[in-house]
Amino acid sequence: MEAITQLASFLKEELNISAGAISLGLRYCEQNPNFLPIRLW
């Protein structure tokens, strides 16, 4: 399992973050992946 898949799984299962929110965060962070935690916050 790659890191992004593991992260998405953790966010959904452990933190109950919606798939839509994760998808939105990933879309905005394609160019700057270091900003994913900020987008999710």
Quick one: tokens of 41? 């916050």
pLDDT string in tens for the chain (41-residue length)? 587 888 889 999 999 999 998 888 777 777 666 666 666 65
Q: Which residue in the block uniquely carries the two structure tokens 């992260």?
A: 7
Which 8-state DSSP code applies to residue 34? G
Cβ(39)–Cβ(29) below 8 Å? yes
Q: What is the pLDDT of residue 10?
A: 92
Domain carrying residue 33: 3-40
Q: How many distinct structural domains can be found in the chain?
A: 1
Q: Report how far residue 39's alpha carbon sits from residue 26's, in angstroms, rounded to the nearest whole number.
A: 9
Distances (CA, A) of 25 to 6, 19, 37, 40: 15, 10, 8, 6
Q: What is the pLDDT of residue 9?
A: 93
